[in-house]
Structure 1
Amino acid sequence: MHASQGRSAGLGLALASALAFGGSGVAAKPLIEAGLDPLHVVWLRVAGAALVMLPVAWRHRNLVRERPALLAGFGLFAVAGVQAFYFAAISRIPVGVALLVEYLAPALVLGWVRFVQRRPVTRAAAAGVVLAVGGLACVVEVWAGLSFDAVGLLLALGAACCQVGYFVLSDQGSPGQGSHGAAEAGPPHPFGVIAYGLLVGAAVLTVVARPWGMNWAALGGSAEMNGNAVPAWLLLGWIVLLATVLAYVTGVVSVRLLSPQVAGVVACLEAVIATVLAWVLLGEHLSAPQLVGGGVVLIGAFIAQSAAPRPPSGPVASGAGVQGSDGAGGGGPAVAEGELSGHRTSP
């Protein structure tokens, strides 16, 4: 695939991932209001996605032997870690503050790429991060509930670090990443990494969420979305298939086609998308600062994605059918913590 084509495809997939992750909160909030505990919704999301991806996990079972550390790391950090830290954080500090700290992840990714991987970082990517984080501060209206809690802020920072893990580990299948032995065996298939990451995440979250105490009856009823009754199973299907399976698949592949720093900034759009969808589908109106902040995030993401790509050097993953032009590393993820905020996490 030509470098510019790969980059365009990567940007499209990154936007699709942000849209999918961003919609999780809109679908999850009615379920929570219908009587489900937020942590149980998270467990349903990850466990359901893991079941859907079971055939993929079986097809790529060789990864358990070849890349056990990668699979365990992806499950612990990119799937379960972001959620655990995020929920612990919002139990102590406002959701908007936790969101803003978590979405410092793109800046942390730049630090990882520059100082750990010792690779150059473009000015466009750095400027994009600054603008995106500033815009996010307006989107979440961080000043509305600003309070200082050292432990809460540290927990939110833990979620940001796990979000970094999502981007860095997603990039491990890109050419030039990983050990020499792994490179000789071929890069791990992204879908296999996602499938096993979800399985590991589901196992960890089962211990944390204790789903045996869930209000299972709520899933057989309906939930209210802006005055309209919607079957609970339909919302759960949305969360599992779109906001998790589709979101992770498009997100991981986009990281391999773009780079961790660029994909990380584009992921900031998740919070904007979540806010807009909540406005349209849940009737949660946007303020002027939120609208301005959303525009600033868009500008930051546009500037960051214009950063010079890494020279192309090979396929994204053996048999993936996609080739990468560059690569390198929400929560949200917003890995899956988007049940309250609508983002990765959410991941």
Structure 2
Amino acid sequence: MNRTVVMGFLLTLASAFFFAVSGPIAKTMYEIGWTPGSVVLIRLAGSAVLLLIPSLIALHGRWDEVRANWKTVLTYGLVSMAGVQGFYFVAVEHLTVAVALLLEMTAPMLLVFWIWARSRTRPATVTFIGVMVSMVGLLLVLDLRNSDISVFGVVMALAAAVCLASYFLVSAKDSINVPPVALTGLGMGIGALVMTVIVLAGVMPAGAVTSDVDMGGYKVSWILPMSMIVVFTVGAYITGILGLRYIGATIGSFLNLVEVPFSVIVAWFVLSELPTPIQLFGGVFIVGGVGFIKWGEARLARRVASREVVVRTEDLVEV
């Protein structure tokens, strides 16, 4: 394993940790009266301001690359920033952090069907087994016997999964020459503008309180958790883009599943919140199913590579 791959793994793990911490911290803000609209707006706007100078420095003499990739940059801001964060933080308001995150982690399944539709190459049988196992896990996580689960929260979490799948695809594009810091900064700025319109329109009402926040049994000023959310958001996206460019969307989306245990641990310490045993069991199925999906993708990649070698050999023989 070369250094580039190792670095990609480490950066992707760091990104998963930063993302995992944000959910539980945001929920502590909800408990004192904050709304998802306010949390997401400050998260995006604060991150955009924090990255303004680094982004301008990184883009010095490279604005042509932004103009050449403006559609990708716009999509990144709308979907990967405003979409992922908006839907996920609304879901966290109605579900436990672990359940919301497990539903969001179905994104790799969506990637399988998207790539299948685009490439018109049928996934390996093992991939379909993985999808079925993950679907069983999804049903267990939803715990349909529990009538208290929020259908609205489930829909929001699955919408976040769709946006997350887009994030993996866009972030992994090594053909985009926009520096990762600048791409993140521009995306944050676009996302902040979108969230401003959404909040002003009343789609996601704004609500903020300056009371102290209870974090793991300790009372702290609301400024601390909001600052942590902004800093961790910047760290999550920058390390995520760098990591995905090193190891690709497929491996990155699989490795990103460690966000689930990270989030469960943080939610336990910060919120004393744990999923039910059956939901934990379902989480194991989802992770295991994604493992099968990735195994199937690896087998398919080897199969396609073998066919290409055979075709090239036949062409040489004919010549």
TM-score (normalised: structure 1): 0.69
Please give the residue correspondences for 1:264-275 in structure 2 after superposition, counting only pairs within 5 Å.
264-275=253-264
Structure 2 partner of 1:112: 114
* Residues 234 and 84 of structure 1, relative CA distance in 2, 3 Å threshold: closer
Secondary structure, aligned partner of 1:224 = strand
Report SS of the residue matched to 1:239. helix
Alpha-carbon shift at residue 205 of structure 1 (Å): 0.5
Shift of 1:46: 1.2
Secondary structure, in 3 states, of the residue corresponding to 1:43?
helix
Q: Residue by residue, what CA displacement relative to the aligned partner does 1:135-194 show, whole Å, maximum 9, x if unpaired? A: 565556465348796x9876655433222211111122x1xx46xxxxxxxx22222211
**Structure 2 contact 26–89 (Cα < 8 Å) conserved:** no
How much is the aligned-residue C-alpha RMSD, in angstroms?
A: 3.7
Q: Bigger radius of gyration, 1 or 2?
A: 2
Whole-Å separation in 1 of the counterparts to 2:33 and 2:54: 33
CA contact (8 A) 1:10 1:254 kept: yes
CA distance in 1 between counterparts of 2:206 and 2:4 reads 44
Contact 1:45 1:236 in 2 (8 A): yes
Q: 1:80 — aligned with what?
A: 82
> Which shifted more, 258-267 or 209-218?
209-218
Structure with the bigger percentage of helix:
2
Counterpart for residue 253 of structure 1: 242
Residues 86-141 of structure 1 deviation map (CA, whole Å, 9 limit, x = unaligned): 567789x8678765554332111122223314578677776666555655655564
> CA contact under 8 A between 2:215 and 2:271: conserved in structure 1?
yes
CA distance in 1, matches of 2:206, 2:150: 33
CA offsets, 1:287-328, max 9 Å, x none? 4334444545555566666764989xxxxxxxxxxxxxxxxx
Match of residue 23 from structure 2: 25
Residue of 230, 234, 247 corresponding to 2:224: 234
Structure 1 equivalent of residue 53 of structure 2: 55
The residue type paired with residue 277 of structure 2 is: A
Q: Which residue of 20, 26, 36 corresponds with 2:34? A: 36
Contact 2:23/2:92, CA 8 A, preserved across alignment: no
Equivalent residue, structure 1, for 2:183: 193
Equivalent residue for 2:278, pick from 284, 289, 292? 289
**TM-score under structure 2 length normalisation:** 0.75
Q: Give the alignment of 1:291-330 within 5 angstroms.
A: 291-296=280-285, 299=288, 308=298
Change (3 A) 1:193 1:156: same
Tell me: CA distance 1:9–1:296, structure 2 relative to 1, closer, same or farther (3 Å): farther
Aligned: 1:161 with 2:162 = yes
- Flag structure 1 segments of 5+ consecutive residues without an equivalent: 179-186, 312-347
Letter in 2 for 1:260: A
What CA distance in whole angstroms lies between the structure 1 residues aligned with 2:214 and 2:240? 30
Distance 1:295 1:217, change over 3 A: closer
CA contact (8 A) 1:269 1:297 kept: no
How far apart are residue 267 of structure 1 and its match?
A: 2.6
- State the Cα distance separating 1:74 from its structure 2 match: 0.2
- Aligned to 2:191, the other structure's residue is in SS state helix
The percentage of aligned residue pairs carrying the same residue is 30
| Unpaired segments ≥5 residues, structure 2 | 303-319
Are the aligned partners of 1:136 and 1:271 in contact in 2 as well (CA < 8 Å)?
no
